[in-house]
Each structure stands twice: as structure tokens, then as C-alpha cells.
Amino acid sequence: MARTVWDSSVGKKAVMAVSGIVMLLYLVVHMIGNLKIFFGPGEFNHYAHWLRTLGEPFMHYEWTLWLIRVVLVAAVVAHAVSACQLSRRDLRARPSKYVHKKPRASYATRTMRWGGVILGLFIVWHLLDLTTGTVHAGGFQEGHPYQNVVDTFSTWYGNVVYIVAMLALGLHVRHGFFSAAQTLGAGSRTRNRALRAVADVLALLLTAGFVAVPVGVMTGVVS
């Protein structure tokens, strides 16, 4: 039965919706945690350490963090595979252009695919920069996330990559949240306006919250 659901377009859309909501919940929590950087290195580094001890003593050191990572990786893969297969299925269904042009879609709708590619590449760069330190500028310091963040956003390219990715994230969330609500049956003629408003607010708050960190470093508020 699971294979039958997965093979259907409705099933793939449902997988996209659920995995998208999982990632959205993570993004909200991650943004709130990032904003702790404005309270100084002690507060931010303590928060990073707390993430690794979450669930102790029942869970071993970093076990909860790795469990969260596994769930996120599964959500990202499921989301990306579903999106790719739905896109290919859509192209096969209409190999030639429509005779009459369809109404112009919103900017977010028309850039969802490219936005997903940008975000996928950003995730790889972000992990190599602040998790493994492979491409980190200024000398990666294990156990000193505050200084590592300041180092990253003290470079022009670190700011450009991050801010462009967060703008793409905002557009993706704005369209994706509403689409997920429709897929999961939450939408209706009376609720659609409220759902669009929630999508707009979520996109704005997430974009502003994440962009606040590099702006804080650039302006010297975080140093």
C-alpha cells in the first residue's frame, strides 16, 4: 500500500507537504536559537553546548542532536525526491507548450524550483562552513560557534551567500506553506485568506530573523 501511495501524484504531494512542515518547524526553532547570538558569546556558546547534551542522562552526549539530524536529512531527501519526480511527471504530461498562455503565476510560484536548488546548495555550503569547518574562513574553532559565525559574516561572500539563500527561503516558505495546507486538506474558501496571511507572516519572520545575524555582524552589533 505504501508503494501505491508513493507512486501516485497525490502521495508524492503529501510526502512533500509533511516533510516541508517538519523542516519548517525546525527552521522556526533554529531561527530562535540563532538570535541568541545578540546576547553575547557566553549565551550563544552555552546554547550550542546545550544542544549536544539535550536529553541527558537518558540520551548519551549528542545522541538527540544526531537523531534530529537524521530526521532532517530524511525530510530533505523526501522533499527533494518528491519535488523532482513531480516536476518530471508534469513535464511528461505536457511535452509541448500550451496554445493559450496560462495566467501569470506569482514570483514565488515561478521560482520554487530554482529556489529549491539554491537552498539545497546552501545547505551543503552551510554545513561545510559552520559544522565541519571545511570551507570556513578565518580558522574554524571547534566548540566556539559564536566566533565561527562572526568569522563567516566578516567576509563579503559569506554575507552574499547567506542573504541570497534566506531570500530564496522566504519565497519558498511563502508558497510552500500554503500549498502544503491545500494538500493536507486544511484549505477552504473561508480559510484560504487566513492561510495566505500566515504564510506571508512566517516567510517574513523567518527571512528577517535569519538575515538579522549577518546584518548584526556587518553593523558591529555582533562582534
Q: Which residues contact 137 (CB under 8 A, 6 or more apart)?
A: 151, 152, 154, 155, 158
Peptide bond between residue 57 and the one before it cis (omega within 30 degrees of 0): yes
The mean pLDDT value of the chain amounts to 89
Q: What is the pLDDT of residue 6?
A: 79
* DSSP, res 137: S
- What dihedral angle (degrees, nearest 10) is formed by the CA atoms of 30, 175, 115, 98? 170
Q: What is the pLDDT of residue 89?
A: 80
142, amino acid identity: E
* DSSP, res 132: S
Q: What is the pLDDT of residue 71?
A: 96
Q: What is the pLDDT of residue 143?
A: 87
Locate cell 571545511: which residue? 134
Q: What is the pLDDT of residue 123?
A: 94
Q: What is the pLDDT of residue 90?
A: 73
Cα–Cα distance, 202 to 21 (Å, whole number):
12
Q: What is the pLDDT of residue 112?
A: 78
Q: What is the pLDDT of residue 79?
A: 94
Cα–Cα distance, 194 to 205 (Å, whole number):
16
Average pLDDT for runs of 10 along the chain of length 223: 82 92 96 96 95 93 95 95 85 60 54 85 94 88 93 94 95 92 86 92 97 96 92
Q: What is the pLDDT of residue 108?
A: 53
Q: What is the pLDDT of residue 155?
A: 93
Q: What is the pLDDT of residue 92?
A: 74
